[in-house]
Structure 1
Amino acid sequence: MTNPLARLRVLLVDDNIRTIDLVKTMLRGFGFEQFYEATNIADAQQILRTKPVDLVLLDYILGPEEGVTLARWIRANPASKHEDVPIIMLTGHADRARVVAARDSGVNEICVKPFTPADLMKRMLTTFESPRPFIRNPGGYVGPDRRRHNDPKYKGPDRRRGPAMI
């Protein structure tokens, strides 16, 4: 029986080639076989314009750039050809402001460095097996629904009951 992960193409975006190699080693252990690598946003954009990609693993800090810039470009730019590709942010900077910025840029999951293979696999399983609805708000947010839970105690206006923006 073939491993279904072997057919998935992963784009790894990190300015540290050692980190890319480490993550590739983890992914190979899971059964992934196809990788693209980029150390900056421009190279990642070129790959996304020209290659099929099934998953993006993206560092928050890319030298002078921020990974959320690439995540926003992927989500809002038809030239990316991957508006709905799952994006997992890998970051050693998990302060609240950065987590919120990653969420608001359309990232599916965040994995905090240092992480174990089990941590990474958990984020990937959540992304693939329990995807949140994808939102396309013209002129606004594009990405997975940022709300993870329905709060039965919430008594305010319920915008989820309005017309679907999917």
Structure 2
Amino acid sequence: MGNNSQLQNIHVLIVDDEKMIQRLVYDVLAQLGFRQITVASSGRQAIHLVATKPFDFIITDWRMQDLDGIDLVEFVRKSPESKCPHVPVILLTGNTEAHYVVRARDAGVNEYIIKPFAAEQLVRRIRAVIEKPRPFVVTKTYRGPDRRHQDLPPPDGKERRKQRHRPEPSES
């Protein structure tokens, strides 16, 4: 991941109502070389912060007392008050069922981490949003990162986007 001087200029917002998770995430970021780290203890506090100044990425919990992480992501993506509608968002959650993953994806979450998680998992997701950012998509019904992590054809083999010519692999 970039050198420490680059990371020092990246402003991160951590949003979690659990002090232990706040500390874990903060410590991981600090060890990586991040220096501009803001911590919010609630979704409402986070909304106030993103309406006040831009962030380079957000790490948020899903379930919080006052306002959940999905509400925060929807504010960030859709509200005219958001100073950072295109910011990458990493969501921390205990929700493992597929419909939760789909809901988070549809809200515009970039990365999804299941609790409990290891620091290495968080580091991998941070690397992904910094080193391999996905294109941002804005349509009438969706604002967020391109939902496809890789440029692969869909599982059913029917490409609905314009097909780009790809040379066939050569035989050796």
Query: Partners of 1:153 and 1:38 in 2: how far apart?
Result: 39
Segments of 5+ residues of structure 1 without an aligned counterpart are: none
Query: Partners of 1:99 and 1:69 in 2: how far apart?
Result: 15
Segments of 5+ residues of structure 2 without an aligned counterpart are: 164-172
CA deviations on 1:124-157 (whole Å, 9 max, x unpaired) are 111121122211003x100001122422764435
Matches within 5 A, 1:38-57: 38-57=40-59
Question: Hey, what does 1:69 align to over in structure 2?
Answer: 71
Question: Hey, what does 2:123 align to over in structure 1?
Answer: 121
Question: Hey, what does 1:145 align to over in structure 2?
Answer: 146
TM-score by length of 1: 0.87
CA deviations on 1:60-117 (whole Å, 9 max, x unpaired) are 1112532111111111112111110010001122221211111111000011222222
Question: Hey, what does 2:26 align to over in structure 1?
Answer: 24
Query: Partners of 2:159 and 2:25 in 1: how far apart?
Result: 42
| Alpha-carbon distance change, 48 to 161 in structure 1, aligned in 2, over 3 angstroms | same
Count of aligned positions:
160
Question: Hey, what does 1:10 align to over in structure 2?
Answer: 12
Larger Rg: 2
TM-score by length of 2: 0.85
Task: Pick the structure with more helix per residue.
Answer: 1
Query: Partners of 2:68 and 2:31 in 1: how far apart?
Result: 28
